[in-house]
Amino acid sequence: MGLEGRRAWRLHALFTALLLGAVAVLALVGYLPTRKLGGVSAIQAMWYGCVLNVLAASVGAVPITLARLNPKREKIVGAALASLVVRMAAALALAASALLALDLERKPFVLWFALAYVALLPLDTAYAARLSKSITLDHPASE
């Protein structure tokens, strides 16, 4: 893997760290209300909902990271759309698996899963936009 490959995966790792930071802030804001309304079991469901969304968003960003390895303007839209589809599929699979395999409070889990999904969308968009900007600036369209 060359320098560009290492840089692309470093950006992906940074993106994942930002996702973790965002859900940590979200969970800190929601900790007391969740604890008061649902008890300790709701806190466990909250953490699962948040962390599984970080995993889904990180996996969903792989098409964008791969597009950075072979930057072509024509692939920007395809990578962004693939990213959305992969993230949604991963999120649904992880949520279904968690609900079936773990003894989680369903209502708090679904609520926090949805909140975390929506809260991480701006970061996903920014990551995709950064790809678009870098390809457009670094590799202008050939005439």
Domain count, the chain: 1
In a domain, 69, yes or no: yes
Task: Give the chain's mean pLDDT.
Answer: 89
**Is 55 buried (19+), middle (13-18) or exposed (0-12) by CB count in 10 A?**
middle
pLDDT at 45 exceeding the cut of 90:
yes
Q: What is the pLDDT of residue 76?
A: 78
For residue 114, being part of any structural domain is answered with yes
Range of the domain at 27: 3-136
Q: Is residue 141 part of a domain?
A: no
**42 CB contacts (<8 Å, ≥6 apart)?**
34, 35, 105, 108
Does residue 98 fall inside a structural domain? Answer: yes
pTM of the full predicted structure?
0.86
pLDDT higher than threshold 90 for residue 77: no
Residue 19 inside a domain? The answer is yes
Looking at residue 143, its pLDDT comes to 42
